[in-house]
Structure 1
Amino acid sequence: MNEGLRVYQKLSAAQREDRLRRSGLEALLTQGGNSGSGENTYEKAQGELLYSQYYRVLVYNLTVLEILPLGTGAAMNPASLPPVKGIGTAGRLGPSGMDEGRALEVLIDGEWPRGFSGECGGAAETEHRLSSYPASSGHRRGAAGKMGDTAVKALYCLGLDSGELLLKAMGGRSYRVDKVIPLTAAASGALPEPYRAASLALMHSLSLEQPGRPGLMLGMDPEFLLLRESTGRVVPASRYLPTDGVAGCDAGPPGTRGTFPVAELRPAPRREPRALLAQLMSAARTADRLIADRSLRWRAGGMPLAGWALGGHLHFSGVTLCAPLLRALDNYLALPLMLLEDARAAARRPRYGGLGDFRLQPHGGFEYRTLPSFLVSPVIAKGAVFLAHLIVSRYEDLRLRPLDRDDLHAAYYSGDKSPLRAAFPPLAAQIRALPGYEQAARYIEPLFSSIAAEQTWDESRDIRGLWCGKKHL
């Protein structure tokens, strides 16, 4: 629980705010914040509380437990409940053992703004609870899903995985992070509900896993574009590929045109990396057969064309999602692939490719969405798949967290590779020391050699011949 609490505590409020913003989130954690004019008057702050909608979000192990609307204040809701000292449930114990009303106070010059109505406990809390997210739930859509995603992402990028957040509705299903309270156990070591139940469920799930996770299952759905080079235009993949199947089409990034313009390979999941890669090659041959126009170029990577962000999503089941696993994938997989990416791929972040980007799946596992499309090269794809399998199998032995450092976190999002290269050798040494590395070395070492040589992939390259030629994996 909150393995990065010290990371969070070392950051100033301004650094936390900057970190959230570079990760693509709106945040206002400092006095004055980013108000444009720089003014921060009592009246302005009081008015914002009175006329704004806030939500209190409880998260444990990257899972949203509750979302509670806090009302918009007496000025917008004359029939609201009487003012209470604090936002949230008065009289209920918070994560640190103190009254939640006091733990989540929003004060102006040390006073609670007159007329602002928080939410009372008991029946009112039950009635107004917006959503409860069981650990087994899949990806949620709508306003509740967006709020939950914002809360989880905010905690994660600050080094946390459990706690409470105060979110302000900004309109258009956009939410600003105004307060973060990490979850900490009481002096007795006990957690209050609903954290206690979530903690017990997590411990039970982890206790069922065997060393090396022999039940681990891998899948993927890397993307690519079809380009007519003579015009420089993307040809919608839906002209050739179905929406389902091992070679299919999918929606493009917001602002892009065309019905399901992006092509996607969806090989059948397998337990062994080599078997999954064989399925990937088969899916590529299926795409080659269905895309009859041989003049089209296939492009992959992070952003092979301006505005067209592509992903190389990996799916895992047979393993319990937890923050240490996700941080191991970020530091030992996303970081080395970032060192290999074309400079154009940096434009994908932060909207796509953010650290710790995941989505729960109906199959009971999760999808890791941080990576760019590794279809740029079979060598890159093989290394990424074998490395991912090794990391997830043994993540508890991979404890280095260079991306917790604020300068390296910033370097990742800006695409500055120099400081990250210096941080990579200790990561590579730990990976090489893992059980099972000897069998995977022939696939992973080419990646490490390319990193050492400061080589990068070329996203202007046509990948069709690489995947659909006579050479097999």
Structure 2
Amino acid sequence: MKINIITDNSSEGQEIMDIIYNLDIKDNINNKFTIRWGNFVSEECEGIEFNSKQSIKNSLDKENVILTLRRNKIRSPRRIKPSIKTDFPIIGRKYTHKNGTDIKIIDSFNEYKKSDSDYYIQYIKVTQEYRVHVMDLEVFFIEEKYKEDYIEGEEITIRTKAFGWNLRKVNLEDKDDKEKEEIFNISIKAIHALGLDYGVVNIGKDINGKYLVLDVDPTCKYMDEECKNAYVDKLIQTILKYDKLVDEKKEVTIGADPECLIKDKFTGELIVASELFKESGYFGLDDRSLEAQKKYFPIMEIRPDYSINPLKVFESIEQILISMYKHIHYKNVGIYSGSMPIYNYWIGGHIHFGIKPNSKLIKALDNYLALLVMMIENPYTARQRKTKYGMLGNYRLKYHGGFEYCSISSWLVSPELAKAVLCLAKVISQEYLNLNKIFLSTYSDIRAYYLVNKDYFKDKIKTIIEDIKSTKTFLKYKDQIQPLFQKALLSESWNEQVDIKDTWNLGSSDKEYKFSLKCFMPKEKRKEFNLKIKDKIEILIKDKKYKIEILPKDDVSQEKNGYVSFSKDICDELGIKTSDEVQIWFDENERSFKIGPILGIFAYIINHEFGPFGFQSYYFRKLMKLGKNKGMIVYVFTIWDINWENKTIKGYVYDFDEEKWIERYFCIPHVIYDRGDFVSEKNYGQLALDYINNIKENNIKLVNSMECINLTNDKLKTYEFLKKNYYLEEFLPETSQYNNKTLYDFVHRYKKVYIKLRDGSRSKGIFSIEKINDDVYLITHKNLYGYNIKITLDKDNLSRYIENKIKEFECSVDDYIIQQGLVFAKYDNKNFEIRVVMQKNSKGIWLRTCMVGRVAINNDKFLDSWDEKNIRSSKILKECFKENEDIVKDKMIKISKYVVDLIDNENIIAGEVAIDFGIDENLNVYIIELNSKPDNLLASIGAYKRRNIAINRILEYSKFLVQKTNSWS
């Protein structure tokens, strides 16, 4: 039997089988054909098969349909894993659809928990729905879904027979050519993505006018007479067409237009191809342009002559490259191929065929060409390209009646590889009906292909190669193709960073191509500043003004948020990479453009395993990473790194590509975030005076002003400051300057007192004094080596002992304060404090960022960052105060608000302050101290999202400080 129809016993399949068997077509064909109508159970069959068993299975598993479509970047509803945060309503469905009766509208998470659906998808409201019938890459029949009593504007509409909807043939006469093409393209792609040769695609038009695939079926159900006849006619046409293709065996003409990128070999910077080439000719410009303006074309392409001989096409490419030499001979100009030789620029190796595309040929190109090329691609760059371009089955019809296959990346990396790919393409175009195995048949296969998971396909590559070797045409080109096979078997990745001028032996001259200083600015930003492409602007960098040419921004980076990038020379001056994207604004005072804002983190260097800035190193890295996302330049510096005269700072940044800290030279910052030692003449001498004076002279903003830092660094000043607000006074332990008089006054009035350095931190130099009786006192303190000392003294020796120890610390009694001791509640029998961090946001408004518990680990008297464990405050408050948890929490929140309001009312500039609280058993809350340089403790309790909020607030407030005095957005 020359035509074998295997049905699923449906009435539609049986009718079509009977009609075709009763026709005389079998007498007019020479070859065998099998048509599977929904049947994936029967054994393998002879001849050319339409719809394989696997493709039918792919289509009957409806969850798989959605996953496969989306993996192939075909618009369709998202699969949903419902949670409390899910945006309801959603659709619940069964793996095998039941004519629409399985569809359930799920309106809430509780409803989902009771649902027996197998999987869930996004609900998308559609205004129109069509059933599109596709066979062999052609749409041959279209029906629309309609309902006689349908009311426009119904909230949720399910257009299936079970819900009263019917079908009628349409010609899409109300659609323009562009809309028709969109309907045809998405339907054809959906059928190919599932591995089908023919099938039915349900597509809908959403409320935004975009089409999406709702479902794909391997056979048609509920067909009327006209639809049935259309299937019979199309099946007969397709059989006759393939019968002729098998018998004629015409020589296929092939061509190509492989793409390349040009970059400066010394800087790595992209050179826009239209800067060196014109559009027409054997070599020229790819149609993609920056901002779709058709003026600036980043990608060049080679356009060899067509031939039935792939070696002639290769020779044409060779001659074209030689003739290009006069344009690209410069020693700093390199030509690059592959998938993505420059970040965010993907390129292809399109191959042209002089025949009409058909389902079998495109499948063969996917499975025998694209898959082999994938095995030698750079996994990272190929994976990036396949998220945007390079989808399986990607082809375009050409004016000459043929098509170009666009799935593979640019193979010009070497002459050997170019020759192999062209010859293999020729073999497949001649032998595709013999190369009929499908290696990309399941969702797992397709996923592995797009992820460039080479190991997944290792067991299949040998079969692919053996299939190709078994063809007659391969024998003509086996020497040329063999190197590709060898590389594919070894999964040997090509090198995209090699200049093809070298691999193709084109050479270079001694001349260097000179580039202008460039700023790549997105369209909306140009509009904001009333600038046009090719305009020149002045940008102030360090103490110089640079005239820079404005060019369009590429279409794939963060141009949507208005950031700009620069050519390498300007990036070097700024201390950034060419891939960095930064904010730009106009400084009215300087009458020039500025970059950033630039945030300098003032710190001190500690050589530590965590990095050059000790435990703060990771915190600084996060500031840099999140700062980049906001178009900022963020670096760390020390007081010794500043050249105020040249307005230059040697800063430290973390290179996330190289995974190491590096030094670069930057402009002085617009804002300083002080995370270093206290800046004073005592600590830094003349450097401190220069630092303070130049901050004022250069109008540098501070996240926390010197006044704020000086205040919080002095415990007595902090106490006197907070007492200015009568409400806060009751939450302050009494504090006074230390001397003999205050010592005996405090120990007389209080059972426990503390003696602390006014500017001390990390529990340095703290004495705890507890009254045992009227004449005996227990003193606890740390010695010079950090060990706890406990000693009992009588009243007469108390002051003498303390003053002697103060001298050991190389301090004077004037450096100390004395403070009322309080007995606080304990967590797990350990001292603890609750830290409330207040930060200003992008509008300069105080917000509470977090509350974190700080618990002493080993030291039962003193709490410091070297000897503490951080715990979520909610856990401590709940365990210590039970049902009174909220009362204590609300008190701390209210007090914190009063503290920052007082700071603002006293006109002290501050953007980040931490208030440390102690709490006694009677729910009384006390302020222990203020900290203007608090450690970010959120990572230590696993609150990473909140940690990022805290970091972003520092960045946003820094931008706010600059924004207040400049014209920018």
Q: Could you tell me the TM-score, scaled by structure 2's length?
A: 0.40
The superposition leaves residues 240-270 of structure 1 with CA deviations (integer Å, 9 ceiling, x where unpaired) of: 2222211010133786996222100111100
CA distance in 2: counterparts of 1:127 and 1:325, whole angstroms = 29
Alpha carbons of structure 1 residues 49 and 417: separation in structure 2 relative to 1, 3 Å: closer
Pairwise CA distance, 1:219: 0.8
Tell me what 2:363 maps to. Answer: 327
Is 1:29–1:178's contact at 8 Å kept on the other side of the alignment? no
Question: Is the alpha carbon distance of 1:129 and 1:60 closer, same or farther for their aligned partners in structure 2, counting shifts above 3 Å?
Answer: farther
Instruction: Tell me the distance in 2 between the aligned counterparts of 1:465 and 1:401.
Output: 38
Q: CA RMSD in A?
A: 3.6
Partner of 2:127: 52
Q: Which residue of 2 aligns with 1:336?
A: 372
Measure how far apart 1:370 and its partner are. Answer: 0.7
> Is 2:136 the counterpart of 1:61?
yes
Structure 1 residue 129, shift from structure 2 partner: 6.3
Shift of the 205–285 alpha-carbon distance from structure 1 to 2, 3 Å rule, reads farther
2:163 maps to 1:111: yes
Q: Does the residue aligned with 1:297 lie in a helix, a strand or coil?
A: strand
The answer for the alignment partner of 1:260 in structure 2 is: 297
**1:407 is matched with which residue: 429, 444, 449?**
444
Shift of 1:27: 2.1
Q: CA deviation at 1:158?
A: 0.7
The one-letter code matched in structure 1 to 2:138 is: T
Which of residues 54, 72, 75 in structure 2 aligns to 1:23?
A: 72
Q: Which has the higher contact order (CA 8 A, sep 6+)?
A: 1
Q: Deviations over 1:124-143 (max 9, x none)?
A: x3575648xxxxxxxxx722
Match of 1:37 among 61, 78, 87: 87
Say if 1:468 and 1:53 are closer, same or farther in 2 by CA, change over 3 A.
farther
1:125-204 matched pairs, under 5 angstroms = 125-126=170-171, 128=173, 130=175, 142-170=178-206, 174-183=210-219, 192-204=228-240
* SS of 1:385 mapped into structure 2: helix
Find the partner of 1:248 among 257, 263, 284: 284
Equivalent position SS for 1:209: helix
* Alignment deviations for residues 188-235 of structure 1 (CA, whole Å, 9 cap, x no partner): xx9834344444444444344366834310011110011124443322
For 1:12, the equivalent position in structure 2 comes to: 61
In the alignment, which residue of structure 1 is the partner of 2:335?
298
Aligned to 1:217: 253
Match of 1:100 in 2: none
Whole-Å Cα distance in 1 between the matches of residues 282 and 375 of structure 2? Answer: 29
DSSP 3-state at the match of 1:53: strand
Aligned to 1:91: none
Q: CA deviation at 1:6?
A: 3.3
Deviations 1:278-321 (A, max 9, x none): 11112222333344544211111111122211111111114x42
Residues 284, 405 of structure 1: alpha-carbon distance in 2 compared, 3 angstrom cutoff: same
1:380 partnered with 2:417: yes
Aligned partner of 1:92 in structure 2 is none
Secondary structure of the residue aligned to 1:54 is strand
Greater CA drift, 157-166 or 411-420: 157-166
Give the % identical residues.
Answer: 25
User: Within the alignment, does 1:310 sit opposite 2:347 as a pair?
Assistant: yes
Displacement, 1:24? 0.8
| Aligned mates of 2:368, 2:491 — CA distance in 1 | 17
Distance 1:227 1:308 in 2: 12
Paired with 2:455 and 2:204, the residues of 1 have a C-alpha distance of 37
- Residues 212 and 394 in structure 1, CA contact (< 8 A), matched pair in contact too: no
Whether the 8 Å CA contact 1:164–1:180 is kept in 2: the answer is yes
Instruction: Specify the SS of the correspondent of 1:27.
Output: coil
Partner amino acid, structure 2, of 1:219:
G
Give the 3 Å change call, closer, same or farther, for CA 52–126 of structure 1 in structure 2.
closer
Three-state SS of the structure 2 residue aligned to 1:276 is helix
Partner of 1:422: 459
Query: Equivalents in 1 of 2:395, 2:213: separation in Å?
Result: 20
Identify the residue that residue 446 of structure 1 maps to in structure 2: 483
Q: Is the 8 A contact 1:146 1:173 kept in 2?
A: no
In structure 1, C-alpha distance between the alignment counterparts of 2:409 and 2:434, rounded to whole Å: 25
Cα offsets for 1:87-114 (capped at 9, x unmatched) = 9xxxxxxxxxxxxxxxxx626xx433xx
Change (3 A) 1:202 1:119: closer
Report how far residue 465 of structure 1 moved.
2.5
Please name the residue that 2:496 is paired with. Answer: 459
- Cα pair distance change 1:352/1:431, threshold 3 Å: same
Q: What displacement does 1:32 show?
A: 8.7
Give 1:71 deviation, angstroms: 7.2
CA contact (8 A) 1:13 1:29 kept: no
Shift of 1:385: 0.7
What is the alpha-carbon distance in structure 2 between the residues aligned to residue 405 and residue 220 of structure 1? 30
Instruction: Could you tell me which runs of 5 or more consecutive residues in structure 2 were left unpaired when the two chains were aligned.
Output: 1-34, 36-49, 91-103, 108-119, 508-969
Greater strand fraction, Structure 1 or Structure 2? 2
* Structure 1 residue aligned with 2:850: none
Matches within 5 A, 1:345-356: 345-356=382-393
Q: Secondary structure at the match of 2:399?
A: coil
Q: Is the radius of gyration larger for structure 1 or structure 2?
A: 2
User: Cα–Cα, structure 1 residues 19 and 127, in superposed 2: closer, same or farther, change >3 Å?
Assistant: closer
Q: What's the CA shift for 1:416?
A: 0.9
Q: Which whole-Å CA distance do the structure 2 matches of 1:186 and 1:38 have between them?
A: 32
User: 1:194 is paired with a residue of what secondary structure?
Assistant: helix
Structure 1 residues 202 and 232, CA gap change in structure 2 (3 angstroms): same
State the one-letter code of the partner of 2:445. Answer: L
State how far apart, in whole Å, the 2-side matches of 1:175 and 1:309 are: 26
Q: Distance in 2 between matches of 1:354 and 1:51?
A: 26
SS in 2 for 1:403: coil
Give, as a single letter, the amino acid of the residue that structure 1 aligns with 2:334. Answer: R
Cα 1:193/1:350, change in 2 over 3 Å: farther
Given the superposition, is the C-alpha separation of residues 236 and 168 from structure 1 closer, same or farther in structure 2, using an over 3 Å criterion?
Answer: same
Flag the 1:210–1:408 CA change in 2: closer, same or farther, 3 A: closer
Q: Do the aligned residues in 1 keep the contact of 2:146 with 2:168 (CA within 8 Å)?
A: no
SS in structure 2 opposite 1:353?
coil
Provide, for residues 438-463 of structure 1, a one-character-per-residue CA deviation record: whole Å limited to 9, x for no partner: 32111111111112233110111111
Asked if structure 2 preserves the Cα contact closer than 8 Å seen for 1:251 and 1:259, the reply is no
Aligned to 2:584: none
Q: Does the aligned pair in 1 maintain the 2:65–2:215 contact within 8 Å? A: no
Q: Distance in 2 between matches of 1:265 and 1:390?
A: 22
1:236 is the counterpart of 2:272: yes
How far apart are the structure 1 equivalents of 2:465 and 2:317?
A: 26
1:434 alignment partner, SS class: coil
Q: Which digits, 9 at most, give the CA deviation of each residue in 1:345-368, with x for residues without a partner?
A: 111114211111111211111111
State the 1:184 CA deviation.
6.0
How many Å separate the matches in 2 of 1:446 and 1:296?
Answer: 29
Query: Could you state the TM-score of these two structures normalised by the residue count of structure 1?
Result: 0.79
* Number of residue equivalences: 424
**Bigger shift: 431-440 or 365-374?**
431-440
Contact 2:350/2:406 (<8 A) preserved:
yes
Contact 1:403–1:409 at 8 Å: present in 2 too?
A: yes
Structure 1 residue 435 corresponds to structure 2 residue 493:
no
